[in-house]
Structure 1
């Protein structure tokens, strides 16, 4: 059984999108996806609680955000199992 992950867009400008990310049980942090380059910047991350490892969750989120950049689509929210 996998971990249910999510991203939710909090802010969008012509230059970037800011996404909240986490599991179905908790918000882990925020990342900024730069639209021109596809670079992803970790804005903040919560202290590790009893749940999914923040590094594991971030490692699952980054490829998903790169996919958004490659398709030039920035959905308001997404969820999947990892």
Structure 2
């Protein structure tokens, strides 16, 4: 995985979070922290893809179950 940062504060925060979480795992966290060099806005057909394509097989088989799991785990944040 990768974390892209746009300033030094974001870089330091990302590294601090990785350091904090590394205490909870036996294997090293291998997430790369690298500067964001360019950003291209998504084409319109990518924006709100899940909301606009709920019947898409990928959305039904992958996205929906993950959203359901996240909503159940973090239901207190939806109040």
TM-score by length of 1: 0.26
Q: Larger % of strand: which?
A: 1
Q: Which structure dedicates a bigger proportion of its chain to helix?
A: 2
